[in-house]
Structure 1
Amino acid sequence: MDRHEAAAVRPLTLAWVSRHLEAGETIVGTEALHGGITAEMRRLTIGTRDGGTRDLVLRTFVGMEHAEDGLTREAGALTLLPGTGVPAPALVAVDPTATHCEYPSLLMTHLPGRTVLGDEGLRTRVALLARQLVAIHALRPAERPREYVTLTTADTVVTPKGADAAAWAAAIDVIRKPAPPYEGRFLHRDFQPGNVLFDVPPGRPADTRITGVVDWVQTSWGPADLDVAHCSTNLALLHGPAWGPRFAEAYEEAGGVPAADAGERLYWRVRDALAFSEDVRLVSRPWREAGRTELTTQAVEERLDAYVTGLMDAPD
């Protein structure tokens, strides 16, 4: 599929989007957005009645088994978040069962900013990410989202070639145990640098700020440690194993409250890290497309091994 084909909106979906525009508005441009794993993402440029333009974002799930659930969760989150201080897109329309569109789709507003996956300015961004996650966990919706789900089991973990076999065996034994008790929190469930938009003023990295948090299709209710663990693993793979524990520290410094017991914290961090083992190739591809070409599958597997080994070697 070339860029033109990827950007094209299917006819039924195009008609559906058009019905949700303001009077006198038309779609004047489309652009495929890259970086997602499970959905087709497009930016739609809308011509307004006064001759200006505005942008919307269209998410489409093609051949995804749980599309209805994911889009329903995202629609619920985007309805909840306005006025909370958490910067997120506003919901325009959703068709979770493809009643009107070719495939399940969601239309939302477009936020300013961009994802930043490079190493420069990382310390500043980690602190911002931690504070943002604390704010998300502070939300208390009148109606809770569905309980979290974890799919990785001791039998599905894939130990990387050349990994520390003893450390991985010990890690796998950790997740054989039942999940520890927890106090429930509102979870993003895929909070990581690829789903956060930043404004980085040229020459003023210290003035960096978060402009948006996107991709709310896995919104859940569960342990805060699960979100912390997920961002920690992503940072460890993107920037080096030491950044995983550093994010967990930054979360506490920002006022976040993880599990009091070290063994419970370890359970969630190990569980999330092992989940990445099942398809490192799929996870690392968007990072390479975004310019981190050095993050080959092998390089990411090596970082994952170092991170898991570090978790198992860390003092209680």
Structure 2
Amino acid sequence: MSNHDEATTVRPLTLAWVSRHLEAGEQVVRSEALHGGITAEVRRLTIGSRDGGTRDLVLRSFVDPFYVRHAEDALHREAAALILLTESGVWAPGLVAVDPTAAHCEYPSLLMTRLTGRTVLDDEGLETRVPLLARQLVAIHAVRPAAYPPEYVALTTADTVVTPKGADTAAWSAAIDVIRKPAPSYEGRFLHRDFQPGNVLFDVPPERPDSARITGVVDWAVVSRGPADLDVAHCSTNLALLHGPAWGLRFTEAYEEAGGVLAASASERLYWQVRDALASSEEVQVVSQPWREAGRLELTTRAVEQRLDAYVTALMNTLS
């Protein structure tokens, strides 16, 4: 397949739109699908210049009808966040162009710079990466925008929770009762809202995995204002499902060790931890599929359900 043929895998209108935002003499010479995302189609575009040099950009397009309905809001949020973060200490992609209503592209799209690094979902080296994740999240929560993004939205209710087959019904019933209560009051922070290992890029030297460093954070489409506990709880849940319940509990400790401030009382903290864990019950299959595509074949839907059950039970045991 020639470079031209590969470039045309980007839809024609979108390719023309991308081309209008390139430097003089540049063109798209290669397109590669990037896997791991849930809500959007993501491609790495190799941009060639007249002198033979290349650089990479990333194209994100919302193509699924369900997500297209939310694309305008998501892309406005992401574009605003990427602009804001250029002045912060948080490494994020740079915004090149955005078409939130598909006025120029086949689908709502965003074009951004590509960060170095890769996602790391393996168990090996986790003891090094967890403190790095915690420090990165503290830095995100330290961002103070002149205008905050919209307030967070929590879609899960006590009636939509899906209790896994064979789960500890007493623990799940108690957990569901926790989120029947009104949300605790909180100090609003700048939230990523989907901060988890799949959205963090690392540089991990093969010969020195203990020297891993974060090179950037991606996927800012649901950036929100809300409690720091909510971001911490979301990353904790993902760590629990990827690596085991103990790592979910450990992340909360690591966040505080990094200087992060959580809700004052244990019951308030538990509310946010339980709310995010129960939210995962509705989308175990959706969440676990990209992990298997990334090589974690043992993380079947059933295996992840069992880890979620163990994590919810562990959270509820903290009350005893």
Structure 2 length-normalised TM: 0.96
The answer as to whether partners of 1:35 and 1:194 remain within 8 angstroms in 2 is yes
Counterparts of 2:84 and 2:121 in 1: how far apart (Å)? Answer: 28
Preserved contact between residue 7 and residue 42 of structure 1 (Cα < 8 Å): no
Task: Tell me, yes or no, if the aligned pair for 1:59 and 1:107 is still in contact at 8 Å.
Answer: yes
- What CA deviation, in whole Å up to 9, does each residue of 1:11-42 have, x standing for no partner? 10000000000000000000000000010000
**Is structure 2 residue 277 aligned with structure 1 residue 276?**
no
How far apart, in 1, do the equivalents of 2:175 and 2:9 lie? 45
**Maintained 8 Å contact 2:6/2:29:** no
Q: Give the Å deviation of 1:114.
A: 0.3
Q: Give me the identity figure in percent.
A: 80
User: In the alignment, what sits opposite 2:223?
Assistant: 219
Instruction: String of CA shifts for 1:184-215, please: whole Å, max 9, x gaps.
Output: 00000000000000000121112110001000
Residue in structure 2 matched with residue 13 of structure 1 by the alignment: 14
Matched, 1:58 2:59: yes
Q: Is the 8 A contact 2:7 2:31 kept in 1?
A: no
Q: Which amino acid aligns with 1:69?
A: D
Q: Distance in 2 between matches of 1:273 and 1:228?
A: 11
The structure-2 alpha-carbon separation of the partners of 1:159 and 1:5, relative to structure 1 and needing over 3 Å to count, comes to farther
Matched AA of 2:247: W
- Cα RMSD after superposing both structures: 1.3
* Runs of 5+ consecutive residues of structure 2 not aligned to the other structure: none
Cα distance in 1, alignment partners of residues 198 and 10 from structure 2: 24
Q: TM-score, normalised by structure 1?
A: 0.97
Q: CA deviation at 1:55?
A: 0.2
Q: Would the alpha carbon gap of residues 103 and 224 (structure 1) be closer, same or farther in structure 2, given more than 3 Å must change?
A: same
1:244 aligns with: 248
How many Å separate the matches in 2 of 1:6 and 1:212? 26
Give 1:28's aligned residue: 29
2:268 aligned to which of 264, 271, 275: 264
Kindly indicate whether the alpha-carbon contact (under 8 Å) linking 2:44 and 2:57 is maintained by their aligned counterparts in 1: yes
Q: Name the CA shift for 1:54/1:302 in 2 (closer, same or farther; >3 Å).
A: same
Note the residue ranges of structure 1 that are not aligned, 5 or more in a row. Answer: none
Distance 1:18 1:178 in 2: 50
Indicate the residue corresponding to 1:178 in structure 2: 182
Secondary structure in 2 aligned to 1:66? helix
Cα distance per residue 1:43-66 (max 9 Å; x no partner) = 000002331100000000012121
Q: Quick one: which amino acid aligns to residue 124 of structure 1? A: T
* Alpha-carbon distance between aligned partners in 1 of 2:88 and 2:235, rounded to the nearest angstrom: 22
1:83 equivalenced with 2:87 (yes/no):
yes
Aligned to 2:238: 234
> What letter corresponds to residue 82 of structure 2 in structure 1?
L
Matching residue's letter, 1:256: G
Partner of 1:152: 156
1:99-148 Cα shifts (integer Å, max 9, x gaps)? 00011000000000000000010011000000000000000001110100
> What is the CA-CA distance between 1:5 and the residue it aligns to?
9.0
By how many angstroms is 1:269 displaced?
0.3
Q: Distance in 1 between matches of 2:283 and 2:273?
A: 17
The answer to whether the 8 A contact 1:61-1:67 is kept is yes
Please give the alpha-carbon distance, in whole angstroms, between the structure 2 residues aligned to 1:284 and 1:57: 24
- Give how far 1:7 is off: 8.5
CA distance in structure 2 between the aligned counterparts of 1:41 and 1:179, rounded to whole angstroms: 35
- Contact kept in structure 2, 1:7 and 1:32, CA below 8 Å: no
1:304 counterpart = 2:314: no
For residue 177 of structure 2, give the secondary structure of its aligned residue in structure 1: helix
**Mapped partners of 1:200, 1:306: distance in 2:** 30
Q: What number of residue pairs does the alignment pair up?
A: 313
- The answer on 1:132 being equivalent to 2:136 is yes
- Judged with a 3 Å threshold, the aligned counterparts in structure 2 of structure 1 residues 114 and 251 are, in CA distance, closer, same or farther, namely same
Question: Which aligned segments of 4 or more residues in structure 1 are displaced greater than 2 angstroms?
Answer: 4-7
Cα distance between partner residues in 2 of 1:283 and 1:270: 17
